[in-house]
Amino acid sequence: MSGEHTLLSTEIVNRGIEASGPDAGSPTFSVRVRRRLPDFLQSVNLKYVKLGYHYLISHAVYLATIPVLVVVFSAEVGSLSREELWRKMWEETSYDLATVLAFFSVLAFTIAVYFMSKPRPIYLVDFACYRPSDDLKASNAEFIEMARKSGKFDEESLSFQSRILKSSGIGDETYVPKSVFSTGNCATMKEGRAEASMAMFSALDELFEKCRVRPKDVGVLVVNCSLFNPTPSLSAMIVNHYKMRGNILSYNLGGMGCSAGIIALDLARDMLQANPSSYAVVVSTEAVSFTWYTGRNRSMLIPNCFFRMGCSAVLLSNRRRDFRRAKYRLEHIVRTHKGADDRSFRCVYQEEDDQRIKGLSISRDLMEVGGHALKANITTLGPLVLPFSEQLLFFATLLHRHLFSKPADSANAAATKPYIPDYKLAFEHFCIHAASKAVLDALQNNLELEDRHMEASRAALHRFGNTSSSSIWYELAYLEAKGRVRGGDRVWQIAFGSGFKCNSAVWKAMRRVRRPNRNPWLDCVDRYPVGR
């Protein structure tokens, strides 16, 4: 039970003066118990560290063979002077045509096998983020007032949503579909299609214009939207709208939560590896109107407060000639799935309430479940990205803890906490999914990040709200608008979502990224960062 208590936080809430009953006129209080993010310093699962090293070795065998060959060659050649080496090569050695041809044939074959087995580099040519029109802006006060006028909520539900918004970290310029505040039902296929079309086509129009690519040039299309999955699919809507070619490889991912954007990247990468000289487009969005909840269940009212309109469109390429114009190269993708655990599986769950009103239920275990998924993901990612010195310290303390610490000896276990690597040494920029202010605060404390590392995530949450799987692209757009991305910088995108999943993508900047002419932040970036 002691371990369980460390994951709980308590808060005394003043509920005001009791209006009626035997306690009328007296102040009343309640104790609110919340789960918080688990402390990463307390435990690190060795199997995820081993998985990271497995990825490293399986994809980089040459790291182990090349040093051996260099040492052997150096030992053989190092004892000879330049004159002796030249004499052995040309004067004391006789060559015939067969020997020379055999040598060059083996050399050519070895080089060909190396380049054929080497994964193709995946380039991010450019990306675009949807910027809704200003008439869809809604401040927090306007949000509550329009919700009240819609007649869909009672005063208790409105009061609850107002309290959530005050501590959410969301500003007064986010975008909400007008249909959610209408008196009728907004969760219809018509409204969902209208919202998705507006967001996706706007982002794609900008992407094709920026990259100077025709829609017919795209060979792979991957669309992800968690909660709105019509028939025909969203990917089919895009193919129809842009009249794309008939042999396009199109995929539609649904029900995969806010981390689906990185899953879509992973799928697009695999498709590009199998199809040379191709373009792939990844579209990430969510339909707010189709997921709008009008009941009284508090756990299902929370998504109303956080989710806002947003969409991103990304152009990937495996064409070597795109090396010169691409912004980033994809380095790593690491995916973690905790769905085998029942609590993880149900912590974000779409269902119907007691009145059979559909909504998205958020469990109180979300922080704890998300923390465990994040811990598994970053310990797998660590061996792929961390400097050798950090890996050595981490691995040494981890082995000491597992070999010499007894589970029952809490004092000894505390004295041998595993060394948590400094991820600030591996990445220059962090794009952490802007779920909520509480989540970002907890992640900053656990990963020991500075305010500047969290700036993009907090700014995206404040300006655009939680835009689900596209939020990490609004954050990267923020960094570009600030002019902070330089050649060689590594960007860590990390997102988590229902299932429960935590996924990471690592990009390396090909060159300094200049401030773009089209960007959702251009008219407001100078107002950020805002105070916490």
- Give the pairing of strands 123-129 and 27-35: unpaired
Express each pLDDT in 150-202 by its tens digit.
Answer: 888 999 999 999 999 998 999 999 999 988 888 888 888 999 999 999 999 99
Express each pLDDT in 280-309 by its tens digit.
Answer: 999 999 999 988 999 999 999 999 999 999
Annotate 127-179 with DSSP letters as a single string: EEE----GGGEE-HHHHHHHHHHTT-S-HHHHHHHHHHHHTS---S-EE--GG
Give 277 or 74, the one with higher predicted confidence.
277
Q: Is the pLDDT of residue 238 over 90?
A: yes
Which one-letter amino acid corresponds to residue 124? Answer: L
Q: Is the pLDDT of residue 35 over 60?
A: no
Q: Is the pLDDT of residue 36 over 70?
A: no
Looking at the domain assignment, is residue 185 inside a domain?
A: yes
Cα–Cα distance measured from residue 106 to residue 102, given in angstroms and rounded to the nearest whole number: 6
Give 102's pLDDT tier (boundaries 50, 70, 90). Answer: confident
Looking at the domain assignment, is residue 315 inside a domain?
A: yes
Report the number of secondary-structure helices (H) and strands (E) in the chain.
Answer: 18, 15
Cα–Cα distance measured from residue 259 to residue 239, given in angstroms and rounded to the nearest whole number: 24
Looking at the structure of the chain, the number of domains it has is 1
DSSP secondary structure letter of residue 307: B
- Give the pairing of strands 123-129 and 311-317: antiparallel
Is the separation of the CB atoms in 134 and 178 below 8 Å?
A: no
Express each pLDDT in 434-460 by its tens digit.
Answer: 999 999 998 898 888 999 999 999 999
337 is catalytic: yes
| Confidence at residue 406, expressed as pLDDT on a 0 to 100 scale | 55
Average pLDDT over the chain reads 83
Distances (CA, A) of 92 to 83, 84, 103: 12, 10, 18
Alpha-carbon dihedral of residues 102, 105, 109, 110, nearest 10 degrees?
60
Is the separation of the CB atoms in 522 and 463 below 8 Å?
A: no
Give 101's pLDDT tier (boundaries 50, 70, 90). Answer: confident
Give 282 or 120, the one with higher predicted confidence.
282
Is the separation of the CB atoms in 433 and 496 below 8 Å?
A: yes
Looking at the domain assignment, is residue 292 inside a domain?
A: yes
Of 55-59, 101-105, 225-229, which one has max mean pLDDT?
225-229
Tokens matching residue 355? 């009145």
Cα–Cα distance measured from residue 44 to residue 9, given in angstroms and rounded to the nearest whole number: 22
Tokens matching residue 270? 């695999």
Residue with tokens 């435990």: 43
Is the separation of the CB atoms in 310 and 251 below 8 Å?
A: no
| Confidence at residue 7, expressed as pLDDT on a 0 to 100 scale | 47
Looking at the domain assignment, is residue 492 inside a domain?
A: yes
Looking at the domain assignment, is residue 319 inside a domain?
A: yes
Is the separation of the CB atoms in 318 and 122 below 8 Å?
A: yes
Mean pLDDT, rounded, for 397-406: 66
Annotate 360-379 with DSSP letters as a single string: EEE-TTHHHHHHHHHHHHHH
Cβ neighbourhood burial of 105 (10 Å; 0-12, 13-18, 19+): exposed
| Confidence at residue 4, expressed as pLDDT on a 0 to 100 scale | 42
Cα–Cα distance measured from residue 403 to residue 272, given in angstroms and rounded to the nearest whole number: 43
**Window from 48-57, 134-143, 288-297 with minimum mean pLDDT:** 48-57
Cα–Cα distance measured from residue 219 to residue 244, given in angstroms and rounded to the nearest whole number: 9
Residue with tokens 């819609």: 150
466 is catalytic: yes
| Confidence at residue 396, expressed as pLDDT on a 0 to 100 scale | 74
Report the percentage of the chain scoring pLDDT > 70: 75
Cα–Cα distance measured from residue 256 to residue 14, given in angstroms and rounded to the nearest whole number: 38
Looking at the domain assignment, is residue 375 inside a domain?
A: yes
Is the separation of the CB atoms in 339 and 499 below 8 Å?
A: yes
Selecting among 377, 433, 453, 519, the annotated active-site residue is 433
Cα–Cα distance measured from residue 117 to residue 5, given in angstroms and rounded to the nearest whole number: 51
Selecting among 186, 429, 453, 502, the annotated active-site residue is 429
Mean pLDDT, rounded, for 122-134: 96
Give 509's pLDDT tier (boundaries 50, 70, 90). Answer: very high
Q: Is the pLDDT of residue 41 over 60?
A: no
Q: Phi/psi at 150 (nearest 5 deg)?
A: -70, -20
Looking at the domain assignment, is residue 75 inside a domain?
A: no
Looking at the domain assignment, is residue 56 inside a domain?
A: no
Cα–Cα distance measured from residue 379 to residue 382, given in angstroms and rounded to the nearest whole number: 5
Cα–Cα distance measured from residue 425 to residue 85, given in angstroms and rounded to the nearest whole number: 43
Is the separation of the CB atoms in 460 and 436 below 8 Å?
A: no
59 is catalytic: no
Selecting among 304, 446, 466, 519, the annotated active-site residue is 466
| Confidence at residue 480, expressed as pLDDT on a 0 to 100 scale | 97
Selecting among 258, 305, 311, 431, the annotated active-site residue is 258
Is the separation of the CB atoms in 504 and 381 below 8 Å?
A: yes
54 is catalytic: no
Give 73's pLDDT tier (boundaries 50, 70, 90). Answer: low
User: Can you say how many angstroms the Cα of residue 299 is from the centroid of all Cα atoms in its chain?
Assistant: 24
| Confidence at residue 10, expressed as pLDDT on a 0 to 100 scale | 41
Give 1's pLDDT tier (boundaries 50, 70, 90). Answer: very low
Cα–Cα distance measured from residue 177 to residue 155, given in angstroms and rounded to the nearest whole number: 22
Instruction: Give me the domain span that covers residue 464.
Output: 122-402+418-527
- Going by C-alpha positions, the residue among 473, 427, 418 that lies closest to residue 449 is 427
Mean pLDDT, rounded, for 244-257: 95
Express each pLDDT in 345-386 by its tens digit.
Answer: 999 999 999 999 999 999 888 888 888 898 888 888 888 888
247 is catalytic: no
Q: Is the pLDDT of residue 219 over 50?
A: yes
Cα–Cα distance measured from residue 377 to residue 359, given in angstroms and rounded to the nearest whole number: 29
Give 110 or 314, the one with higher predicted confidence.
314
Q: Where are the beta strands (DSSP E) in 366-516?
A: 429-432, 490-497, 501-509
3-class SS letters over 226-278: CCCCCCCCHHHHHHHHHCCCCCCEEEEECCCHHHHHHHHHHHHHHHHHHCCCC
Mean pLDDT, rounded, for 62-88: 59
Helices (H), 171-222: 189-211
The DSSP H or E segment spanning 431 is strand 429-432
| Confidence at residue 155, expressed as pLDDT on a 0 to 100 scale | 92
Is the separation of the CB atoms in 328 and 491 below 8 Å?
A: yes
CATH value at residue 209: 3.40.47.10
Selecting among 45, 275, 297, 337, the annotated active-site residue is 337
Is the separation of the CB atoms in 198 and 136 below 8 Å?
A: no
Residues 6+ apart with CB under 8 A from 512: 485, 486, 487
Q: Where are the beta strands (DSSP E) in 290-368?
A: 311-317, 328-337, 348-352, 358-362
453 is catalytic: no
Q: Is the pLDDT of residue 62 over 80?
A: no
Give 113 or 160, the one with higher predicted confidence.
160
